[in-house]
Structure 1
């Protein structure tokens, strides 16, 4: 089943990857952009130039019925406390006005530092960070809207994003693998801790499959995208294959991030999430493929070779 998808954040790394997969699978794709930025979209994306906060204007600019709204929005990391809740409330209002299914990429933030190493969709939230508490609030607002019969939401929770469309904004391409071509992998924590990762083209395929099964889904659904579970040592081994050279792992002490954070607000904002490099975790969900069908993961070494470093 195909249809018409409106991608919010269509010029962002996540939005681009998802829009490309919807297009490849034969969907009509529209992208919400700020006024004056329509020319930056591919020619197969219908530009929706409207104010994110004006759901009526967005619906009018979409020009035809929309079946699915993909929420690829993201607040600047250091301004989450200020911007995240209103940003996602606006996305929910757009989906409600359009009468469309709302697709949302979730994160592991809400589970907190005490999370178990196997994260299934039935695990309760126990946030230990401000960003985690904000994420929990946002997902709770989606559930409430679904219970009230206003908007259907499907959350697909995933680990750290990486891929060719998000190169400068992911931990892998912005920090860990920036010197991979020189044979160096940098580690923000212990090198042997399993960590959840989501290669964006694979994640995008899962979202498209869920959208295609929208008639089978309930008012509020949560799935976990297993993606790759890999320690920094695993990343180094895969990078060695991808770049055809041995890799040396260099551990960067936490003090370095603290000092950089004195002048860089984004690095400073990331410090509360540093536990994700110390606490082993993987996403598990056997139900997802009963809805989507088999999901094939891109081998880690091939995925790493696709990112720009």
Structure 2
């Protein structure tokens, strides 16, 4: 009888967690996903949904029973309450992974690093962040290193740029650059003019994780990898790709405009999420790029969807290409 790998995905209703869950399911894994409050919506998707809260250790321990892998993709939404929630949730995952001798997979970030490591980051770059969220991420990874040294837990960390994708959830693409569910008339560019920025297409990140898991026995107890993703050399290339996709779909050419950071700053005393965004603005004012040579050495390649294909799929997935305005007008006129 064939024995399938069983994985628990925490954060499967979010962008990266959901994408990894679906790709693992399609790769033949038995996928278990935990969420608060179950309903009938989406429960017939080939994923075993169980009710629970990542902040409750007993829930995580129970959900992880029989799992060889735990994907820890759960985060407090909108940057809120990181200092209160992020580490306790990870501690529960580590406890469950230790009890069940499982591998933890973590989507990493560049927050761990400070200016002394810029502009090119390798997995060995020093982690001296100058922000609160960065310090939390450093502590989060430190705890996983300690757990891996104990021998019962293995850890895979995959660090990538800013996510975008058809089901990426909260991201700069959907919250800052375009408005989901509407035709694109304006694309806001968050970065300073001429400053490069790294983006990551979510299905490529998930595919990388799935491929690393397939070879996890060849990895050390704690393994970190960087993805190159899509490098926007001057901060406008993703915006221009959006323009191309919109025009090809029959819409008018959208304008490229600078992101309204001044308005965000003015509103920040009243909107907590804006305060958190401002703390991370430094990542849009200087180049920070990841070196993916370790990933290439191990896998032989990095999963990579061409930029125009990735942008078209993203805009379609978030409902921005559902109403081809110019095409409709031409059909009416004819």
TM-score where L is the length of structure 2 = 0.85
Deviations 1:64-101 (A, max 9, x none): x2121111100131211121111211222222222111
Deviation at 1:199, TM superposition (A): 0.8
- What is the 5 A alignment of 1:188-207? 188-207=190-209
Bigger Rg, structure 1 or 2: 2
Contact 2:177 2:259 in 1 (8 A): no
Contact 2:60 2:92 in 1 (8 A): no
Deviation at 1:151, TM superposition (A): 1.6
Corresponding position: 1:72 with 2:73? yes
Segments of 5+ residues of structure 2 without an aligned counterpart are 321-334
Question: Measured at CA, do residues 111 and 22 of structure 1 come closer, stay the same or move farther in structure 2, by a change above 3 Å?
Answer: same
Corresponding position: 1:239 with 2:242? yes
Deviations 1:218-276 (A, max 9, x none): 11111101111114311122112211254422113432111121222111111110001
What is the aligned counterpart of 1:5 among 4, 7, 24?
7
Alignment RMSD (CA, Å): 2.2
TM-score where L is the length of structure 1 = 0.92
Partners of 2:46 and 2:300 lie apart in 1 by: 27
Residue 163 (structure 2) aligns with? 161
Mean alpha-carbon deviation: is it higher for 195-204 or for 236-245?
236-245
Deviation at 1:149, TM superposition (A): 2.0
Segments of 5+ residues of structure 1 without an aligned counterpart are none
SS at match of 1:143: helix
Residue 15 (structure 1) aligns with? 17
Number of aligned positions between the proteins: 307
- What is the 5 A alignment of 1:37-56? 37=39, 39-56=41-58
Partners of 1:4 and 1:293 lie apart in 2 by: 26
Partners of 1:51 and 1:189 lie apart in 2 by: 36
Deviation at 1:191, TM superposition (A): 2.9
Partners of 1:183 and 1:60 lie apart in 2 by: 48
Deviation at 1:204, TM superposition (A): 0.4
Question: Measured at CA, do residues 266 and 42 of structure 1 come closer, stay the same or move farther in structure 2, by a change above 3 Å?
Answer: farther
Question: Measured at CA, do residues 182 and 284 of structure 1 come closer, stay the same or move farther in structure 2, by a change above 3 Å?
Answer: same
Contact 1:9 1:33 in 2 (8 A): yes
Deviation at 1:57, TM superposition (A): 4.4
Residue 328 (structure 2) aligns with? none
Deviation at 1:54, TM superposition (A): 4.6
Partners of 1:18 and 1:85 lie apart in 2 by: 22
Mean alpha-carbon deviation: is it higher for 93-102 or for 267-276?
93-102
Partners of 1:224 and 1:13 lie apart in 2 by: 19
Partners of 1:155 and 1:61 lie apart in 2 by: 22
Contact 2:64 2:96 in 1 (8 A): no
